[in-house]
A = this chain, B = another copy of it.
Amino acid sequence: MSEKGISLAVIKRLPRYYRYLGELLENDVVRISSKELSERMHVTASQIRQDLNNFGGFGQQGYGYNVEYLHTEIGKILGLDKKYSMIIIGAGNLGQALANYSDFERKGFVLKGIFDVNPVLKGVSIRDTPIMMMDELEEFLKKNSVQIAALTIPKSKAPQTAQRLVKLGIKAIWNFAPTDLHLPEGVVSENVHLSESLMRLSYSLKSKEEDPE
């Protein structure tokens, strides 16, 4: 069930609001009207009012939204007021790219370790986080409380690795392998399927070519 009966469609839009409000904060904007926010986000002002009214009392007629308050409240709904520990499984280019995003840490996702099967990578560190070998995983997760695992490994290995992680207590899997994981109740996942994203781009491109406005 979603927060206070907020629809899943609204919840899905929250990260985008959070990002825009964060940018406004960085630029020292104290408040913003739904009209201004609408122009920046290329969303109708009425959509914005509808979405944000779900949280009640954030906007005031003729005054606009308090940017910092709204940013904080949306952050809380998204769970960003908490700290989560994360590991990355797979230290290839994609795993290393994730390990290098300092922005995740600022949002409360603390990288605790990176795991791979390639012995060449053993002991190498990325931003002070060591790369360990997969056979050290059990030992590591016994000693460290970790909630999130990012999976950047081949499709063929993803399902059994996910099962192994779940057994070890991982509660959330951020899956980059091009396959859907079927996980037990109580474990959540979010997929980043790059290939599907590229196909959607290809569809848009083809549609434009066939039917240019």
Binding site for B on A (CB under 8 A): 1-3, 11-12, 14-16, 18-19, 41-42, 77-80, 82, 84, 92-94, 96-98, 100-101, 103-104, 107-109, 147-148, 171-172, 174, 178, 180, 182, 185-186, 188-190, 192-209, 211-213
CB distance from A18 to the nearest CB of B (A): 7
Total identical chains: 2
- Say whether B208 contacts A190, CB under 8 Å: no
CB distance from A49 to the nearest CB of B (A): 20
Interfacial chain B residues near A178, Cβ < 8 Å: 19, 103
Given A42-B182, A186-B213, check contact A79 B203 (CB 8 Å). Answer: yes
Which of B101, B171, B207 has a CB less than 8 Å from the CB of A3? Answer: B207
Given A103-B195, A178-B19, A208-B171, check contact A200 B148 (CB 8 Å). Answer: no
CB distance from A209 to the nearest CB of B (A): 8
Which of B2, B80, B93, B186 has a CB less than 8 Å from the CB of A96? Answer: B93
Which of B2, B101, B147, B204 has a CB less than 8 Å from the CB of A194? Answer: B101
Interfacial chain B residues near A211, Cβ < 8 Å: 1
Which of B15, B192, B208 has a CB less than 8 Å from the CB of A188? Answer: B208
- Beyond known contacts A15-B197, A190-B197: 20 more, CB 8 A cutoff: A1-B207, A3-B207, A11-B203, A15-B200, A41-B180, A42-B180, A77-B203, A78-B199, A78-B202, A79-B206, A80-B202, A84-B202, A84-B205, A97-B97, A103-B195, A109-B202, A172-B204, A185-B213, A188-B204, A192-B192
